[in-house]
Chains A and B, each alone.
Chain A
Amino acid sequence: MTERIVVVGFGPVAARLVDELLPAVRSGLAHLSVVGEEAEAAYNRVLVADLGVGRTTAAALALSDAAALIADGVDVRLGVRVRRVDRARQQVVLSDGTSPGYDRLVFATGSRPVIPNLTGLNPDPAAPVLPAGVTALRDLRDAAALQAAVAGGKRVVVLGGGVLGLETALAAAEEGATVTVVHNGPHPLGRNIDRGGGAVLAASLRNCGVRVAGNARSTGVEHNAPGGGFSALLLDDGSAIDGDLLVLSCGVRPRTELAEGCGLSTGAGILVDHKLRAHHEPHIFAIGDCAEVRCPDPDCIECRTARGPSGLVGPGWRQAEWLAEYLTLLAAGSPGAGSLPPLAPELPGVIVLKARGMNMAVAGEVRADPWDEEALTAGAVNGRARLQIAQWADPEHGRYVKMTTRAGVLEGLVVVGMPRTAAELVQLFERGAELPADRSLLLRLDGPDQASVAGAADPERTVCRCAGVSGTTIAAAVSAGCGTVAEVSGTTRAGTGCGGCHNDIKGLIEAHFQAAVA
């Protein structure tokens, strides 16, 4: 029998799930409906800031093509809201008046921006109506607002020192806007980065032309622009930061109302077990930003230390891939469904700043400092190794690295201003691979000495790799009377392959005759 699968939400995570379920749809194993509130099929929300500064096009953001999916037999409903889920009848009640039934329902409703409680902003989190000149930069319409400001060289105020805020600020500044980032705490990325890294980060932001207002508590917005638009962000010390557009970047919150409305358990997100199933509801699943993996078993050690939804797209994509496989096995009635190993727990998310002018990566737990004995030994019980920290700080040149390791494996990292080191450390972190004992090896990746210098002085060194001829052999040929590259080639075959060593041969000939003159 064909299994009816309904996916609620059509963002990047839902798009991956739908793609992975296509074989089951094509083979008739599953009937798939996907319900999206926006008029567009899934697009890459991660790049909305790039779109907002005019660096890319809406078309290039597309992740799904509704027409192609429909051609494959997927029931695609765009611009349609789910009013409620009727678990008793296994139906979703839609705003288009229909109520498709389901055997499996997947929530991929994602998250919505947090709207801070400021005077002059509507605080209703479920239905934010933002005044003119204020945007949360979440969808294509928000991007259009930012684009107008950037194209006009306007003043943009970014509220929030999280990674999305910083990326927006950097991109807008590079594209010509005047940008101020307003954040609380002593430095941006306060939740993720350590003090040293944060200080270097703030300095680097300023070098890139972004104004940074730290330790700022905002209290309200002022609408004195013509037409009642945004004109300034008000701070609790009585000061104001003037601007033409306010970008709210104060984090996101999982969208759980539908799940709550049908009686499912929620914490930070919709609570699901290790098979991404809602608690006590085998027909409903949740993935991506709206889901929180925390199983009902109170003794589960993994869940005791589990973090809430990460807000990053990578874990959601991995969940989508896993769930597609699981749902396909379920639809096929395969015994493999029972034995499919659950998804491995996620590592702490890696944040790599998407920016042209500067480079920063941060991941894991990075607060401890090298001399912080208490933090280093905490958790080092039952033979577990203690934390080790290696650190490099060169604030003058905007460079900072911290590697927090346990038994040689990274538990946290901060890299600012060293792109190769960042790339290397991030993939070491993601693979859980052991670092070289000499950590300075990783710092040297960005050094000017990276291109190794051939030992030109060593006469035994192979000059012509193609023919395997050493400097000594060539020198002997020159001593025996060869005065040109062609003559050396004729005698020794050096230079007869790729010809790349002709200059070296010439140099040896010249050295010989200079020595003879001297």
Chain B
Amino acid sequence: MTNGAATHCPYCALQCAMTLTPAPAAPPDVAGRDFPTNRGGLCRKGWTSASLLQHPGRVTEPLRRGADGVHRPVGWDEALALITAAVKTTRARHGADAIGVFGGGGLTNEKAYQLGKFARLALGTSRIDYNGRFCMSSAAAAGMRAFGVDRGLPFPVEDLDSASTILMLGSNVAETMPPFVQHLQGARDAGGLIVVDPRRSATAAFTDDGGGLHLAPLPGTDLALLLGISHAVIHEGLADAGYTAARTTGYEAVARSVASYWPERVQSITGVPAGLIRETARRLADGSRRGGSYILTGRGVEQHVDGTDTATAAINLALLLGLPGSARSGYGTLTGQGNGQGGREHGQKADQLPGYRKITDPAARAHMAAVWGVPETLIPGPGLPAVQLLKSLGQPDGVRCLFVHGANVAVSAPDANAVIAGLRSLDFLVVCDFFLSETAAEADLVLPVTQWAEEEGTLTNLEGRVLRRRRALAPPPGVRTELWIMARLAEALDAPSTFSEDPESVFEEIRLASAGGLADYSGIDYAMLDRGEAAYWPYPAGSTGTPRLFLDAFAHADGRAVFTPVTPRRRTPSSGPGTGSAASAADPAGTPMTLITGRLMEHYQSGAQTRRVAALAAARPGARLQIHPAAAAAQGIAEGDLVSISNSRGEVSCRAELSTDIRPETVFLPFHFPELESANRLTEAATDPISGMPEFKTSHVWVRPAAAEPRANELQKEGAL
């Protein structure tokens, strides 16, 4: 244990602490390490993470795709020369914005920062965005709007331990970040865990036996449910009037906007009994006067075309109760990806510069121009958010040459068939990965990069705490770090400014770049992190950081939090291409069901890593469609039957898993699997107008036994293709 590297898990934003001890001729030994977030616990994904380091399928040399579609090894010099030529040709023919960069929320702070700088200064493009758009964008936009700053949890996670009431909306932590569940125990013991999920998820099951309440609204009605709870808070006199008067603006407008959402009406919209809506309001108010009340949101309520408004409704509820910025209560969003927090702060978002600065803000641009030593005019303006960026692939005036770092859009992006078609229409695709992911398989050039155990850097966890990732072993000889690749390419492209390949040097630059910004890291350095200090941003130089935000003031100029009234918009979910349209002509006959997508314990994101871990793949080898026995019986589907799930965007084929844990009109698919089992073939690329978040949770699909004859319109469609 003593000679192991003290690092953190490669997967989710809980960033469980682990120790990696190299073992001769075997993967390093993984051990849980005591830390406030995971207290020594790890889930199955973490325990088995080291098996990927020496995986036989690992890409260990640059691979170039031949005319025959087969990837063959090439040397690094040749690979870099190919990219340089492709960039120069694309720029000359179509302009710099024809080059796109797609980043990821799993990249270290150093890589995320450098990627934004590389796109804007070395490539000269505005077209950079990342997969966090599918993850945190709605909650981030809502947090900015309400609080003036977005830090997933504005308090340390162990604050939850003493809470009496925790309302979790659309988050299945029992599967996605199991060690987090320890922090719910106090609320469960107090009978105050309230889980909102259309499914009786593993997390919802924690409310059994007196643990609390499970509210199961119809998919897509979360916003109305929140308005109903807020209505009950106001009308039962549970609102904290002193708090709303002293610390917020806009209370009256929100009170008016929820006046027409009385619990019985909300019951008719959501299917949640009025009594449970009132009970939830009372328990939240009661909890805030005892051990504390917390409201936490996850992707279930955020991944909607009105995801920002839904997160805002959750924040409004929290503000009515006086939770945010109090010592023992609060609102938070549970960040998903490993560096989903840091990854959204340092400039890989289309509209953002490092330090969570706005790219349209002249002062922010001037600051960054000074840090980078370039004229301000050299920094491009805002680009396109992820879904629009992917839609533009291969289009006239769209992106023709794309760099992908730490993302597998062929599986994780909505309307995946269209995304794959877009990737294939590119002039040149470069993917940095350590496996031949479904996206890498489409690439003209695949560059092998280091895994977490082979590199140094920092990540910022779901609480806004900056953590050190440490190298435990050397990478295979042909593998490089992304910092090295960017440095070489910047050199070849005669880029201005500097591109270091040393993580600590890049972090020192992040300190300068983020100084004075919302996410200020200027007071943090590697030495301090290596001493084990708990560094929560904002951490301006000379301060001691900010474990708890908002205790004195919110981040708006007047120090107050802002209530924004939100109400559901009428929208007919589409089953076909385009946005917002009603059922398309290509829809099969019969009643559509509502598809919600989500995660399994055994897999992480697109599954590019976890599907290659033998133990995880054995436990969950493929997708299964969760369907209610009554719905299955109506279609003649039995447990384990092969079923077809389709709409006009695509078709998925997998086995059925009958369960009363899901509502009868709703089906569930995990999105970790590719090809015929890829749930995102069915999701719609419609997006939230504020955050750019796609709609992942209310797609219309038709489910039938796979053996059935193809329907006439399906044949027509195939003919048309």
- Seen from chain A, the residues whose Cβ lies within 8 Å of a Cβ on chain B are 12, 16, 43-44, 46-47, 50, 55-57, 59-65, 68, 313-314, 317, 321, 350, 352-354, 356, 359, 419-420, 422-424, 426-427, 430-431, 433-434, 436-438, 441, 451-452, 465-468, 493, 496-500
Given known A-B contacts A62-B256, A467-B43, A497-B43, A419 and B619 have beta carbons under 8 A apart: no
Provide the bound-state CA to CA distance between A62 and B253, in Å: 9
A70 to chain B, nearest CB (A): 15
Determine if A423 and B253 form an interchain contact, defined as CB atoms under 8 angstroms apart.
no
Given known A-B contacts A44-B259, A468-B602, A434 and B591 have beta carbons under 8 A apart: yes
27 contacts between A and B (CB under 8 A): A12-B260, A47-B235, A47-B262, A60-B255, A60-B259, A62-B252, A350-B268, A352-B265, A356-B278, A423-B271, A423-B273, A427-B268, A427-B269, A427-B270, A430-B268, A451-B208, A452-B200, A466-B43, A466-B601, A467-B44, A468-B601, A496-B40, A497-B42, A497-B178, A497-B179, A498-B174, A498-B180
Determine if B218 and A427 form an interchain contact, defined as CB atoms under 8 angstroms apart.
yes
Told that A63-B259, A452-B660, A466-B41 touch, could you supply 8 new A-B pairs with CB distance under 8 A?
A64-B256, A65-B256, A352-B265, A352-B268, A430-B268, A431-B665, A451-B209, A497-B179
- Of the candidate stretches B120-128, B551-559, B630-638, the one touching chain A is B630-638
Determine if A496 and B41 form an interchain contact, defined as CB atoms under 8 angstroms apart.
yes
A464 to chain B, nearest CB (A): 9
- The residues of B that contact A431 with a CB separation of less than 8 Å are 665
B672 to chain A, nearest CB (A): 15
- The residues of A that contact B260 with a CB separation of less than 8 Å are 12, 16, 44, 46, 63, 313, 317
Q: Does B236 contact A (CB under 8 A)?
A: yes
Determine if B174 and A465 form an interchain contact, defined as CB atoms under 8 angstroms apart.
yes
Provide the bound-state CA to CA distance between A336 and B60, in Å: 58
- The residues of B that contact A436 with a CB separation of less than 8 Å are 628, 630-631, 633-634, 664
B514 to chain A, nearest CB (A): 34
- The residues of B that contact A466 with a CB separation of less than 8 Å are 41, 43-44, 178-179, 601
- The residues of A that contact B237 with a CB separation of less than 8 Å are 56-57
- The residues of A that contact B44 with a CB separation of less than 8 Å are 466-468, 493, 497
- The residues of B that contact A314 with a CB separation of less than 8 Å are 265
- The residues of B that contact A424 with a CB separation of less than 8 Å are 271
Of all chain B residues, the one with the shortest Cβ separation from A469 is: B44
Of all chain A residues, the one with the shortest Cβ separation from B628 is: A436
Determine if B634 and A434 form an interchain contact, defined as CB atoms under 8 angstroms apart.
yes
Indicate which residue in A55, A63, A423, A452 contacts B267 across the interface (CB closer than 8 Å). Answer: A423
Determine if B273 and A419 form an interchain contact, defined as CB atoms under 8 angstroms apart.
yes
Nearest 3 pairs of A and B residues by beta carbon:
A436-B630, A498-B181, A466-B178
B147 to chain A, nearest CB (A): 23
- The residues of A that contact B200 with a CB separation of less than 8 Å are 452
Determine if B265 and A65 form an interchain contact, defined as CB atoms under 8 angstroms apart.
no
- Considering only residues 192-211 of chain B, those with a C-beta below 8 Å from chain A are 200, 202, 206, 208-209
Determine if B634 and A500 form an interchain contact, defined as CB atoms under 8 angstroms apart.
no
Of all chain A residues, the one with the shortest Cβ separation from B591 is: A434
- The residues of B that contact A497 with a CB separation of less than 8 Å are 41-44, 178-179, 181
Given known A-B contacts A44-B259, A468-B619, A426 and B268 have beta carbons under 8 A apart: yes
Of all chain A residues, the one with the shortest Cβ separation from B42 is: A496
- The residues of A that contact B218 with a CB separation of less than 8 Å are 427
Provide the bound-state CA to CA distance between A356 and B282, in Å: 13
Determine if B630 and A423 form an interchain contact, defined as CB atoms under 8 angstroms apart.
no
Given known A-B contacts A465-B601, A467-B43, A441 and B630 have beta carbons under 8 A apart: yes
Indicate which residue in B41, B271, B661 contacts A499 across the interface (CB closer than 8 Å). Answer: B41
Provide the bound-state CA to CA distance between A43 and B235, in Å: 13
Determine if A437 and B630 form an interchain contact, defined as CB atoms under 8 angstroms apart.
yes
Determine if A498 and B179 form an interchain contact, defined as CB atoms under 8 angstroms apart.
yes
Provide the bound-state CA to CA distance between A434 and B593, in Å: 11
- The residues of A that contact B249 with a CB separation of less than 8 Å are none
B517 to chain A, nearest CB (A): 33
Provide the bound-state CA to CA distance between A16 and B209, in Å: 43
Provide the bound-state CA to CA distance between A145 and B371, in Å: 69
- The residues of B that contact A352 with a CB separation of less than 8 Å are 264-265, 267-268, 274
A230 to chain B, nearest CB (A): 29
Q: Does B223 contact A (CB under 8 A)?
A: no
Provide the bound-state CA to CA distance between A451 and B552, in Å: 43
Indicate which residue in B47, B174, B628 contacts A493 across the interface (CB closer than 8 Å). Answer: B47
- Considering only residues 662-694 of chain B, those with a C-beta below 8 Å from chain A are 664-665
Given known A-B contacts A465-B178, A498-B180, A420 and B273 have beta carbons under 8 A apart: yes
Provide the bound-state CA to CA distance between A508 and B30, in Å: 26
Compute the total of residue contacts between A and B using a CB distance below 8 Å: 151
- The residues of A that contact B178 with a CB separation of less than 8 Å are 465-466, 497-498
Provide the bound-state CA to CA distance between A436 and B185, in Å: 36
Of all chain B residues, the one with the shortest Cβ separation from A51 is: B235
Provide the bound-state CA to CA distance between A498 and B41, in Å: 7
Determine if B182 and A433 form an interchain contact, defined as CB atoms under 8 angstroms apart.
no
Given known A-B contacts A47-B235, A55-B235, A496 and B255 have beta carbons under 8 A apart: no
Q: Does B272 contact A (CB under 8 A)?
A: yes
Provide the bound-state CA to CA distance between A44 and B265, in Å: 13
A192 to chain B, nearest CB (A): 15
B50 to chain A, nearest CB (A): 14
Determine if A68 and B253 form an interchain contact, defined as CB atoms under 8 angstroms apart.
yes
- The residues of A that contact B570 with a CB separation of less than 8 Å are 321
Provide the bound-state CA to CA distance between A424 and B268, in Å: 8
Q: Does B295 contact A (CB under 8 A)?
A: no
Looking at B180, B181, B256, B262, the one whose CB has the most chain A CB atoms below 10 A away is B256
Looking at B39, B43, B234, the one whose CB has the most chain A CB atoms below 10 A away is B43
Looking at B209, B235, B619, B633, the one whose CB has the most chain A CB atoms below 10 A away is B235
Q: Does B275 contact A (CB under 8 A)?
A: yes
Provide the bound-state CA to CA distance between A55 and B262, in Å: 13
Determine if A359 and B631 form an interchain contact, defined as CB atoms under 8 angstroms apart.
no
- The residues of A that contact B661 with a CB separation of less than 8 Å are 452
Determine if A55 and B236 form an interchain contact, defined as CB atoms under 8 angstroms apart.
yes
Provide the bound-state CA to CA distance between A470 and B265, in Å: 45
Indicate which residue in B47, B252, B271, B660 contacts A65 across the interface (CB closer than 8 Å). Answer: B252
Provide the bound-state CA to CA distance between A419 and B350, in Å: 47
Provide the bound-state CA to CA distance between A498 and B202, in Å: 12
Provide the bound-state CA to CA distance between A420 and B180, in Å: 31
Of all chain A residues, the one with the shortest Cβ separation from B264 is: A352
Determine if B43 and A422 form an interchain contact, defined as CB atoms under 8 angstroms apart.
no
Of all chain A residues, the one with the shortest Cβ separation from B184 is: A498
Determine if B264 and A433 form an interchain contact, defined as CB atoms under 8 angstroms apart.
no
Provide the bound-state CA to CA distance between A64 and B256, in Å: 6
B631 to chain A, nearest CB (A): 7
Determine if A499 and B660 form an interchain contact, defined as CB atoms under 8 angstroms apart.
no
Q: Does B32 contact A (CB under 8 A)?
A: yes
- The residues of A that contact B665 with a CB separation of less than 8 Å are 431, 433
* Interface 1/0 per residue, B153-178 and A, CB below 8 Å: 00000000000000000000011001
Provide the bound-state CA to CA distance between A65 and B293, in Å: 31
B403 to chain A, nearest CB (A): 36
- The residues of A that contact B270 with a CB separation of less than 8 Å are 423, 427
Determine if B273 and A65 form an interchain contact, defined as CB atoms under 8 angstroms apart.
no
Provide the bound-state CA to CA distance between A317 and B570, in Å: 12
B207 to chain A, nearest CB (A): 9
Provide the bound-state CA to CA distance between A12 and B661, in Å: 39
B266 to chain A, nearest CB (A): 10
- Considering only residues 34-85 of chain B, those with a C-beta below 8 Å from chain A are 39-44, 47
Provide the bound-state CA to CA distance between A499 and B186, in Å: 13
- Considering only residues 408-422 of chain B, those with a C-beta below 8 Å from chain A are none
- The residues of B that contact A356 with a CB separation of less than 8 Å are 275, 278
B193 to chain A, nearest CB (A): 12
- The residues of A that contact B234 with a CB separation of less than 8 Å are 56, 60
Determine if B256 and A56 form an interchain contact, defined as CB atoms under 8 angstroms apart.
no
Determine if B630 and A438 form an interchain contact, defined as CB atoms under 8 angstroms apart.
yes
A246 to chain B, nearest CB (A): 26
Provide the bound-state CA to CA distance between A434 and B259, in Å: 32
A46 to chain B, nearest CB (A): 7
Looking at B41, B218, B634, the one whose CB has the most chain A CB atoms below 10 A away is B41
Indicate which residue in A354, A359, A441, A467 contacts B273 across the interface (CB closer than 8 Å). Answer: A359
Provide the bound-state CA to CA distance between A430 and B661, in Å: 23
